[in-house]
Amino acid sequence: MAPITRIANLLLAAFIPALLGAGAATDSGPAPSFNRDIAPILYRNCSSCHRPGQVAPFALLTYKDAVKHAKQIATVTQSRYMPPWKAEPGFGQFKDERRLTDEEIATLRNWANNGAPEGDADNKRIPPKFVDGWQAGPPDRVVSMTDPVSLPAGGPDQFRCFVIPLGNESAQWVNKVEFHPGNRKVVHHAIIFLDATGEARRREKVPGQGYDCVGGPGLAISGGLGGWAPGATPTVLSEGLAITVAKSSDLVVQMHYHLSGKPETDQSSIGLSFTQDAPKKGMALVMAGNRRIDIAPGDDHFVVKASAELPMDAETLSIFPHAHYLCKDMKVDAHLPDGSVKPMIWIKDWDFNWQGAYRYETPLKLPKGTRIEMEYTFDNSANNSRNPSNPPTRVKFGEQTTNEMAFTFISVSLDDPADVPEFQRDMSAHFIADMIDGGSDDSGLDPKRVAQMKATFNFFDKNKNGKLDPEEKQALIEFLKKQNVRL
Ligand code: HEC
């Protein structure tokens, strides 16, 4: 740093507290100081992302870092914009919850309002040391994107799917997955899918270069290995659980890049650990969603509902709600056969940029016949600051950022691994039937898939009234089950 700017910074650091000092203390007790009160809060809740080389725009490690942002810290913690954590307390209890207490928020506010003092040097804490290696221990196998990908300095966010062939000669059981972003300045999030069909390889025209994919990998996925967003912890499955990776599978990694202002490259990797013991419990995916999305410009309260019924007893492991930019509010509840309702998640201020899987602290036990009900609300008005279209335009279901989606994926465990195929067959048949029954417009989707869905719809709409009556839908579900059509 040139001496002149260093001096300017020192002057600023000295003056900003004085300027902020205009506000009087609002709460009783001695004014909080950085060294004694603020540093522990920041180190515990903020510095993992707010440090050099990470996704956050500035570091929060030293007094000098923090004092420059004192007011802003008070504002973004008061509104709970930071630390990023979207799930409302009391609606599902999740692991690794990032949430400040009301007291911590008040302390940050009082500090800012009282001139943001540094405090007694005797109380000074040592900033935490972050391990940038494998958090869950050394993995058995590390795979990377085949080639580094070059990203431009600026432009809209990029969504690309990269194929990583595993070349495993037999099925394997994965019990730990850790995603390592190659370049944390640009990797905003990643979702890892499994493909045992070779379809993703066909889409990736130049091996290693990936293909555009916003909503999803655009293929019949064979499963998933979780995801990553800044601050995420590795997936470590509990004893007796494992994800089965079919022979010769490919990983399909959907990368969301947020460009940094400078040209960058990225080559992210994934650490996998395997278990030799056959899983004692099964893992399956509950899916709910529908394509009936058609939001008029200006409509600030468009509601999408969908449900899924459990064909067997299951216990929840994690929940992954998914929509694009217009979604505001997401609520998922489990309606048990005894009439009771268990809240599964509630996100009141959905932000596409902070999507991810929420892992349950204690699994919810859901008996056979439980109905999972989701209700998502979308705001397609100009008041929605996240609206990608200005002025707003009509928005329909599809995979582009300017289309919308409404899905809930819930990972569950089943007591007997032998039950998984039947569970998944039933779940997929219902889910695909809901997709086929999803209205006639399909902007943004692969035309071949749309034509297939339309033909299937027309075949099962026996009385040609343009909709699937309950018995017609049941016939479609039975057909899909028999064909063992998988998502
Ligand atoms: C999981 C990563 C993560 C954690 C944890 C985190 N931040 Fe951030 N923070 C970000 C990112 C990314 C941005 C920039 C993008 C944005 O504004 O959403 C940001 C932006 C900010 C901003 C600027 C907001 C603006 O309006 O420009 C402030 C202030 C901030 N964070 C304070 C905090 C504080 C205080 C904490 C801890 C209580 C915290 N952050 C925890 C990732 C994080």
**83 closest CA partner among 118, 108, 117, 111:** 108
pLDDT at 24 over 50: no
The CATH number for 407's domain is 2.60.120.230
Helix axes 3-20, 70-78, angle to 10 degrees: 50
Q: Are residues 185 and 223 in the same domain?
A: yes
From 249, 274, 299, the end of a domain falls on 274
Q: Are residues 418 and 476 in the same domain?
A: yes
**Structural domain contains residue 325:** yes
Which of 44, 49, 349, 350 for a ligand 1 pocket mutation test, highest count of atoms within 8 Å of Cβ?
Answer: 49
pLDDT at 487 over 70: no
> Following DSSP, what letter does each residue of 145-211 receive, concatenated?
-SSPEEE-SSSS-EEEEEEEE---SS-EEEEEEEEE-S-TTTEEEEEEEEESSSHHHHH-SSTTS-E
Phi and psi at residue 473, in whole multiples of 5°? Answer: -65, -40
Q: How far is the CA of 317 from the centre of ligand 1 (A)?
A: 28
Q: How far is the CA of 162 from the centre of ligand 1 (A)?
A: 28
Q: Please report the atom of ligand 1 found closest to the CA of residue 75.
A: 29
Q: How would you class 461 by CB atoms within 10 Å of its CB: exposed for 0-12, middle for 13-18, buried for 19 or more?
A: middle
Look-up of token digits 């009087």: 24
Q: Please report the atom of ligand 1 found closest to the CA of residue 48.
A: 5
Which of 50, 77, 351, 354 for a ligand 1 pocket mutation test, highest count of atoms within 8 Å of Cβ?
Answer: 50
| DSSP-derived secondary structure letter, 397 | B
**What is the distance between the alpha carbons of residues 401 and 253, in angstroms, rounded to a whole number?**
18
pLDDT at 315 over 90: yes
**Structural domain contains residue 130:** no
Q: Please report the atom of ligand 1 found closest to the CA of residue 104.
A: 38
The reported pLDDT for the residue numbered 346 is 98
Q: Are residues 417 and 294 in the same domain?
A: yes
pLDDT at 23 over 80: no
| DSSP-derived secondary structure letter, 354 | G
From 224, 243, 274, the end of a domain falls on 274
The reported pLDDT for the residue numbered 359 is 93
For ligand 1, atom 20, the nearest C-alpha belongs to 56
**What is the distance between the alpha carbons of residues 159 and 168, in angstroms, rounded to a whole number?**
27
pLDDT at 188 over 80: yes
Q: How far is the CA of 42 from the centre of ligand 1 (A)?
A: 11
**Structural domain contains residue 135:** no
**266 closest CA partner among 146, 369, 359, 174:** 146
Q: Is 270 helix (H, G, I), strand (E, B) or coil?
A: strand
**C-alpha atoms less than 13 angstroms from C-alpha of 435 in its C-beta half-sphere:** 23
Across 380-403, average pLDDT? 89
Counting every residue, how long is the chain? 487
Q: How far is the CA of 250 from the centre of ligand 1 (A)?
A: 34
The reported pLDDT for the residue numbered 343 is 97
pLDDT at 8 over 50: no
Q: How far is the CA of 483 from the centre of ligand 1 (A)?
A: 48
Across 9-33, average pLDDT? 48
User: Which residues does ligand 1 sit against, CB inside 6 Å?
Assistant: 45-46, 48-50, 55-57, 69, 72-73, 76-77, 82-84, 98, 100, 230-231
The CATH number for 196's domain is 2.60.120.310
Structural domains of the chain, count? 3
Q: In the predicted model, what is the mean pLDDT of the chain?
A: 88
For the stretch 398-402, contacts whose Cβ atoms lie closer than 8 Å and that sit 24 or more positions apart, written own/partner, are 398/215, 398/442, 398/443, 398/444, 398/445, 399/213, 399/214, 399/215, 399/216, 399/218, 399/444, 399/445, 400/214, 400/215, 400/444, 401/156, 401/157, 401/159, 401/214, 401/324, 401/325
From 274, 299, 323, the end of a domain falls on 274
Q: Are residues 71 and 207 in the same domain?
A: no
Q: How far is the CA of 125 from the centre of ligand 1 (A)?
A: 21
**Structural domain contains residue 51:** yes
**Structural domain contains residue 293:** yes
The residues near 342 (Cβ < 8 Å, ≥ 6 apart) are: 333, 334, 336, 364, 366
Q: Are residues 119 and 155 in the same domain?
A: no
Q: Are residues 202 and 349 in the same domain?
A: no
**14 closest CA partner among 91, 78, 67:** 67
pLDDT band at 221 (very low <50, low <70, confident <90, very high): low
Q: Are residues 49 and 80 in the same domain?
A: yes
Highest mean pLDDT among 16-30, 220-234, 340-354: 340-354
pLDDT in tens, 397-452: 887 777 898 999 999 999 999 999 899 899 989 988 988 887 656 556 667 778 88
Q: How far is the CA of 50 from the centre of ligand 1 (A)?
A: 7
Partners of residue 158 on adjacent β-strands: 257
Q: How far is the CA of 83 from the centre of ligand 1 (A)?
A: 6
- Segments forming the whole domain that contains residue 381: 282-483
Q: How far is the CA of 1 from the centre of ligand 1 (A)?
A: 25
Q: Are residues 387 and 366 in the same domain?
A: yes
For ligand 1, atom 11, the nearest C-alpha belongs to 56
Q: Are residues 267 and 310 in the same domain?
A: no
